């Protein structure tokens, strides 16, 4: 049952991604990307990463894509551009390279993880029942990965300052 649902959302994700990259209208591309993000959030839930799924919707679809849409509107790119997709040569190169990439990645999807590091099945769920859904992410975050966490906040600060400076008309 889970398997079927998983695949339904998977197909939605892949289909909307394909539509995203082939639309001439940038706003259409952005909205299809939002659909993809939602589908991915559903996949996260099915993979026992509920907290991450919520974050995906809140941060990615809710903040980042909104920012994209703001900029598209600001630059008045709502209408489809005259030559927004590359000509046949560019398309040909892209398809060839894409096919090569897929061909190379395909074996990776069949890998079996070494048993020495694999956790017993259901251990994530057990952990979540023990510490709570949020707690299972928060404990490592503020524990083992505290320093990267603090650095990430500094990074965000730098990004804020950078964005403000770069977007000003006059410094």
Partner 1 sequence: MTGTAVDLIWLAPALALLGFVLNGTLALARPTSKTLVSVIGAGVLLAAFAVSVVVCSAFAGVHAEEPVVLRYWSWIPVGTLQVDFAFQVDQLSLVMLLVVTGVGSLIHLFSIGYMREDPGYARYFAYLNLFVFFMLVLVLGASFPVMFVGWEGVGLCSYLLIGFWFTEAANANAGRKAFIMNRIGDFGFMVAMFMIFWSTGSLDFGTVFTHAPNALAAGGRTVTVITLFLFLGCAGKSAQIPLYTWLPDAMAGPTPVSALIHAATMVTAGVYLVARCNLLFAMAPVSSAVVAGVGALTALFAATIALKQWDIKKVLAYSTISQLGYMFLGVGTGAISAGIFHLVTHAFFKALLFLGSGSVIFVLHRAYHHTHSHEDAQDMRNMGGLARYMPWTTAVMWIATLAIGGVPPLSGFFSKDEILTATHARGQVDPVWLVFWGLALAAALLTAFYMTRLMLYTFHGPNRTGEQEQQHLHEAPWIMTGPLLLLGVLSAAGGVINIPELYHGNAWLHHWLEPITQASTPLLPAVPLSTSTEWLLVGIAVAVAIAGIVGAWQLLKPQALVPARSAPEERGFARLLRNKWYVDEIYDALIVRPLVWLSREVLWKQVDSRAIDGAAVNGAARGAKALGWANRWLQTGQVGVYVAAFVVGVLLILWRAMS
Partner 2 sequence: MLLGPALAISAVLFTLGVLGVLMRRNVIVIFMCVELMLNAVNLTFVALAQNLGMGGQVFVFFVMAVAAAEAAVGLAIILAVYRHKQSVSLQNMNLLKDG
Which residues contact partner 1 by CB under 8 A? 86, 90, 93-94, 97, 100-101, 104-105, 107-108
155 binds, among partner 1, partner 2, none (CB under 5 to 8 A by kind): partner 2
118 binds, among partner 2, partner 1, none (CB under 5 to 8 A by kind): partner 2
Backbone phi, psi, residue 58, to 5°:
-65, -50
Least distance to partner 1, CB of residue 43, Å: 24
d(CA 70, CA 57): 18
54 binds, among partner 2, partner 1, none (CB under 5 to 8 A by kind): none
Least distance to partner 2, CB of residue 129, Å: 14
3-state DSSP of 49-70? CHHHHHHHHHHHHHHHHHHHHH
Nearer CB in complex with partner 1: 99/160: 99
**Token representation of residue 55:** 């974050």
Interface with partner 2 in residues 34-53 (CB under 8 A):
36-37, 40, 43-44, 46-49, 51-52
Give 21's contacts (C-beta < 8 A, 6+ positions apart): 29
**Token representation of residue 32:** 């299809």
């Amino acid at each position: 049952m889970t398997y079927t649902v998983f695949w339904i959302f998977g197909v939605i994700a892949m289909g909307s991604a394909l539509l995203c990259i082939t639309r001439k209208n940038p706003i259409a591309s952005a909205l299809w990307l939002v659909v993809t993000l939602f589908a991915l959030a559903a996949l996260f839930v099915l993979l026992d990463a509920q907290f991450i799924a919520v974050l995906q919707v809140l941060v990615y679809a809710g903040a980042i894509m909104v920012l994209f849409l703001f900029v598209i509107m600001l630059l008045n790119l709502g209408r489809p551009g005259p030559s927004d997709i590359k000509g046949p040569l560019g398309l040909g190169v892209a398809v060839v390279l894409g096919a090569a990439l897929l061909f190379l990645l395909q074996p990776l999807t069949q890998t079996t993880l070494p048993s020495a590091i694999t956790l017993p099945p259901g251990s994530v769920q057990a952990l979540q029942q023990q510490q709570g859904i949020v707690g299972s992410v928060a404990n490592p975050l503020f524990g083992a990965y505290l320093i990267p966490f603090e650095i990430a906040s500094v990074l965000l600060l730098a990004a804020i300052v950078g964005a403000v400076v770069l977007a000003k008309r006059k410094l």
